Amino acid sequence: MSLTLRELQAAFAAHIVADDRPELIAAVAGDSIPAAARLRVYRHHVFHSLGVALAATFPTVQAVVGEAFFAAMARGFVVATLPVQPVLAEYGAEFPAFIDAHAPARGLPYLGDVARLDWALNIAFHTSLAGRLGAADLAGIAVEQLPSMVLALAPGTVLVRSAYPIDRIWAAAQPGASGDAVDLAAGSVGLLVLRRPDDAGFVALGEGEAAFVAAMAQGQTLEVAAGAAFGADASFDMAGAFARLLGIGALAAMQQ
């Protein structure tokens, strides 16, 4: 039976994540190794390669749950979501949501947020350092114009919020960590993930700072963002927060 290219591609994808497809086996040449065996080897290679890629992108998640648990979870994700892009570093955007719905992980309610932190760090790491706003860029702008300005977050910069202390979980999962238990009742966090000169990292934000950044990320003016910040924390230090964001390169350069 002759298959069109589209049919062949569809059969290959279905064969990888489900049962053997007779029409595909019939279309694959075999010699000393039967076609069905060749395809099983290919299927194993796909699951292994994508599992390794996910482990590299979500190292904290794997450190928390262990290699065996992670491998089983990754396999389930691959079955549900094959990559649609050629760059494996871009594979896994849906993994945090998958973890949220993954029944065996229900006893770890923070795990999806840990995955979101890992994913944000991955995206930041693969983002260029170019296009950051500096204090000198604001020198020619009148102070009275600032409230009406809309400033965007720099490429790769994202706010990750969680009801759990995922920053402490991340730290405890790093190689050489003390191994001390993390108090899950320590409180919620807002972490600003961003590209740094040599890697990607994050800084913890206060409630006011997190509200300020969240509003900016939604395209609000500085005045509206400041209002949101003061609503979250009456003691919010607008000048200090803005200077901090400039200093760590969290804001995008203004468009000419």
182-239 pLDDT, tens digit each: 999 999 999 999 999 999 999 999 999 999 999 999 999 999 999 999 999 999 999 9
Please check whether residues 19 and 72 belong to one and the same domain.
yes
Strand partners, 190: 161, 205
6-60 pLDDT, tens digit each: 765 666 566 666 666 565 555 555 555 666 666 666 566 778 889 999 999 999 9
Output the pTM of the full model. Answer: 0.85
Domain total of the chain: 2
Question: For the domain that residue 144 is a member of, what is the CATH number?
Answer: 3.90.930
**Domain final residue, candidates 108, 141, 176:** 108
pLDDT at 101: 97
Q: Is 254 contained in some domain?
A: yes
Please check whether residues 150 and 78 belong to one and the same domain.
no
Mean pLDDT confidence for 77-91: 86
Evaluate if residue 2 carries a pLDDT over 80. Answer: no
pLDDT at 34: 62
Please check whether residues 256 and 161 belong to one and the same domain.
yes
Mean pLDDT confidence for 1-7: 63
pLDDT at 27: 56
Please check whether residues 159 and 230 belong to one and the same domain.
yes
Domain that holds residue 191: 131-256
Q: Check residues 1 and 92 and name the one with the higher pLDDT.
A: 92
Q: Is 117 contained in some domain?
A: no
pLDDT at 88: 84
Please check whether residues 138 and 248 belong to one and the same domain.
yes
Q: Is 116 contained in some domain?
A: no
For the chain, the DSSP string reads: ----HHHHHHHHHHHHHSS--HHHHHHS--SSS-HHHHHHHHHHHHHHHHHHHHHHH-HHHHHHH-HHHHHHHHHHHHHH----SS-GGG--TTHHHHHHH-GGGTT-TTHHHHHHHHHHHHHHHTS-S-SB--GGGGTTS-GGGGGG---PBPTT-EEEEESS-HHHHHHHTSTT---PPP-TTS--EEEEEEE-SSSEEEEEE-HHHHHHHHHHHTT--HHHHHHHHHHH-TT--HHHHHHHHHHTT-BBPPP-
54-80 pLDDT, tens digit each: 999 999 999 999 999 999 999 999 988
Q: Is 120 contained in some domain?
A: no
Q: Is 93:137 a contact under the CB 8 Å cutoff?
A: no
Mean pLDDT confidence for 97-101: 98
